[in-house]
Amino acid sequence: MSGKRNKIERRHMRKLRIRSKLSGSAQRPRLSVFRSARHIYAQVVDDATGRTLAAASSKLPAGERAALQGKVEGKGKVALCTAVGRMLAEKSLAQGIKKVCFDRSGYRYHGRVKALAEGARAGGLEF
């Protein structure tokens, strides 16, 4: 073996490095992002208790998907990620969560991850 790591292993190492410095609490939970090739998933997590407080994704049942599609401004995955960020902000604000710390999970703050973060900020979350 040459000692080289593949793309997924390098992202996982970055994720661990970020998570060693970043933790969510009850006052300021962690907004965690996972990006796949087709969908994006985000959740607000309280690491002290290990509970997910709010979650949103682009992979939804048919009834919720229609509501999300009505919020999308534009075409493509980036516009969809902005709508997912707004939807997560609405769910978080309904539970009284206003401030979060952003965990990009080793992904670059670019494209869909950035769009989700900006959508969450536009929805009212502070980070």
Provide the 8-state DSSP code for 28: S
Question: What pTM was estimated for this model as a whole?
Answer: 0.87
**10-38: per-residue pLDDT in tens?**
999 999 999 998 888 888 999 999 999 99
Tell me, what's the pLDDT at 9? Answer: 92
Q: What residue segments make up the domains of the chain, in order of their start?
A: 7-123
Helix axes 62-71, 77-94, angle to 10 degrees: 100
**42-92: per-residue pLDDT in tens?**
999 999 999 999 999 988 776 777 677 777 777 888 999 999 999 999 999
Provide the 8-state DSSP code for 112: H
Given CATH 3.30.420.100, say whether it is the number of domain 7-123. Answer: yes
**78-97: per-residue pLDDT in tens?**
999 999 999 999 999 999 99
